[in-house]
Amino acid sequence: MAHNYYSPKKQNASAQLAAQEDGPRQGREIPQAAPQTDDIPVIDLNAYLSTAADGSPSETALAECNKVAECFHRYGIILIRDPRVNMSDNDTYIDLMEEYFADVGDRFYANETISDIKPEFHYQVGATPEFIEKARNHSEKLSALNLAPEDTPESPLEPVLDAKWRFMWKIGERPDGASDDFPAVKPERYPDWEDKMNTWGGKLHSAIFTVAEMAAIGMGVEKSAFTSRMEGGAHLLAPTGSDLVKNDIGAIFAGFHYDISFMTIHGKSRYPGLFVWTRDWKKKAVKIPEGCLLIQSGTSFEHITGGYVLSGFHEVVYTEATKEAVKRRAQQFEALGINRRQWRVSSTMFTHFRNDVDIGPMAELSHLYTPDQAAQ
């Protein structure tokens, strides 16, 4: 599917780093010409969460709902600030995944049998090694678009296997008898794994459901229009990890692709490298403000809105900016006496509609699209 146990000592080291700053594989040098996402507004969920006792949103909340709908339409992404999400939870989670990916990667390449890897379940639970996932081929679309050099993907036209690991963990309940409700994988070396995965995944799940309500209101339909279809969906916490020592500038961590999900949500990564394309096919380097989360719309969202929502393309690449961040963090590690491998972790979660949901254009949203748009 393209999308889709750490010690207290290490946790304290991360806190120190946070206080300090608000054989490699060789590749091409990546130009840093792409503008950042600074022009995309941050949506504050607090106004909506503080709605009146009768459930009617305030004028401020309605304005934020309209911004949600407009951002999904124009950009295919939104940036949110959710008062229920403490960013220290994101740091704790990334600490966990950095250690896990480093450990499982070392054991994998030492030819140990890794029981966390479940190809028999199509990698929909547990670990997926690097160089398994690969983006679809979009060379015809790119050739037809004839993008300017600064808007062209760094991913090769002929997709390559992604230099990233992934771990899949189910969030929420599935309907009885769901064919893809596989048993969870709990790594033996991490006794608090389930608690930490569910804690972070639960926060992302709550944020997505709130944004889905806001999007519905902003698009002029009942607030439950999307969330009622999400209940029982295959929501997957699916963090990725890429080794920043073994890889180097030009490595493709996630080739040029779109997500098939309803929405995909991420916390802030410690290293840059994510690029998105907006509706006008302008490439932007994603910069998540401190304390915020990033949400991207997938093709299920685009289809059900008749094309009003943009399911934007994106890629993750090891860039010059990534390299500079690696150097800065290495200096900080040295100053603090920390011995830790650097991995680029993305605390990603995919959210989906239930399998029985028709994702054809909703009639209730026909005021947002033309018949021609819906037919595409």
pLDDT at 52: 62
3, part of any domain: no
pLDDT at 35: 77
64, part of any domain: yes
CATH of the domain at 275: 2.60.120.330
8, part of any domain: no
The range of the structural domain enclosing residue 249 comes to: 23-375
66, part of any domain: yes
Where the chain has pLDDT below 70, the residues are 1-34, 52-53, 374-376
**What's the gap between Cα 176 and its chain centre?**
28
264, part of any domain: yes
Is residue 37 within 8 Å of residue 367, measured between CB atoms?
Answer: no
Location of structure tokens 């290495």: 330
Crossing angle for the helix pair 193-218 and 59-74, to the nearest 10 degrees: 100
2, part of any domain: no
Q: How far is residue 309's CA from residue 151's CA, in Å, rounded to a whole number?
A: 21
For the chain, the domain total comes to: 1
Q: Which DSSP category does 163 fall into?
A: S
356, part of any domain: yes
Give which of 143, 148, 145, 144 is closest to 283, Cα–Cα: 148
pLDDT at 19: 39
H/E segment holding residue 336:
helix 320-336
366, part of any domain: yes
pLDDT at 11: 36
pLDDT at 376: 67
Distances 288 to 16, 207, 224, 265, 295 between C-alpha atoms, Å: 21, 16, 28, 12, 10
Task: For 241-258, write each residue's pLDDT tens digit.
Answer: 999 999 999 999 999 999
